[in-house]
Chain A
Amino acid sequence: MHFLFPVFKWADGTWLGETIRASRIYFPIIETFHLLALTILFGAVIVLNLRLCRVIMKNQPVQQVAEDLSPWAFWSLVVILTSGFMLFTSEAMKCYASKPFQVKMVFLFSALIFHFTVHRRATRSDREPTLPWGSFVGGVNVLLWLGVGLGGRGIGFL
């Protein structure tokens, strides 16, 4: 048994999880919000990182593109994490046994940490990152979020 098992057990027994499980439509509705917010975040990630790689928006400073996108990206992330947590409580035991869920969580925490440290430093400084460094940071960031998305889709299938 994994040392995190009590967390899954607790989530599974919460009022929230039980309420969502008991209804046929709560889960699909919450999932739809999860998906809509994810679309917005994914678009922001693509646009910002293509700018870092100097593929698009070359006339706009990286910092400015990042600042323009950030409120939308931030609030969509809030919706994604909230709805994701709700979905998790409703099927925590399934998630515990799911390999794709484990993969997704590893990618999620890596993506969040990378996003708020290395990536933030590259996109929020007055000085434009060099092309190799910008491309590296942008590429890693896209791949991490892609891993989150693929893992998430896998939960439903495997």
Chain B
Amino acid sequence: MSDVPAVIQWLQNSEIGTGIRESVWTFPLVETTHVLALALSVGVLIWFDLRLLGWGMKHTPVSQVHKQVMPLAGIGFIVMFISGLLLFWSEAEKCYLSGFFRAKVLFLVLAGVNAAVFEFTTKKSIEEWDKYPVPPPKARIAGLFSILSWAAVIIAGRATAYNLF
């Protein structure tokens, strides 16, 4: 495949990439870890997003939900990211050529930017929001954007594995 950059080919053909791809158990184990870590990180993150929107966990103050849930989401994200890198390593060419994978990376970056903006700016007044049942619009937008971008990551990720197009 001449249209694949050398670094992608090198990754795919490296000892580790080939090892993961060709072993009977490693790929399924890494993939299973990836899916479980995804369910953990996005699964708990969604509760914070729903709280931001005022759609779930209404009886718990926003700042409380954030403090309790985000460390879990963080742990899940780290495991998901590492296992995801290993999967990419083993199928670098397929991923590089897949439109779904490119879309997935794009949505991942969007989710990351949204999270960074929230954590570094929007969140500053989070203690204030505890006084009201529903947080201000900027927080609600962040929550909705997070849910949508993560759903898009999951959909595109699942489609990458099916290799439809």
Rounded to whole angstroms, the CA-CA distance of A40 and B46 in the bound complex is: 7
**Could you give 9 example pairs across A and B, Cβ below 8 Å?**
A24-B164, A31-B158, A39-B154, A57-B60, A64-B60, A69-B57, A153-B31, A153-B35, A157-B31
- Which of A24, A43, A50, A150 meets B46, CB within 8 Å? A43
5 tightest A-B CB contacts, nearest first: A43-B43, A42-B39, A56-B68, A157-B28, A42-B43
Q: Is A106 in contact with chain B by the CB < 8 A criterion?
A: no
Total cross-chain contacts (CB, 8 A): 85
Interface 1/0 per residue, A33-69 and B, CB below 8 Å: 0011011111110110010000011011000110011
**Which positions 4-43 of chain A face chain B at CB distance < 8 Å?**
24-25, 28, 31-32, 35-36, 38-43
- Chain B residues in 8 Å Cβ range of A43: 39-40, 42-47
Interface residues on B, range: 20 to 34
B59 touches A68 (CB 8 A): yes
Q: Is B106 in contact with chain A by the CB < 8 A criterion?
A: no
Q: Is B115 in contact with chain A by the CB < 8 A criterion?
A: no
- Chain A residues in 8 Å Cβ range of B162: 28
A39 touches B39 (CB 8 A): yes
- Chain A residues in 8 Å Cβ range of B57: 65, 68-69
The closest CB in chain B to the CB of A45 belongs to B43
Rounded to whole angstroms, the CA-CA distance of A41 and B43 in the bound complex is: 7
B residues sitting closer than 8 Å to A (CB atoms) are 28, 31-32, 35-36, 38-40, 42-47, 50, 56-60, 64, 68-69, 72, 151, 154-155, 158-159, 162, 164
A150 touches B32 (CB 8 A): yes
A57 touches B39 (CB 8 A): no
A residues sitting closer than 8 Å to B (CB atoms) are 24-25, 28, 31-32, 35-36, 38-44, 46-47, 50, 56-57, 59-60, 64-65, 68-69, 72, 146, 149-150, 153-154, 157
> Which of A38, A47, A50 neighbours the largest number of chain B CB atoms within 10 Å of its CB?
A47
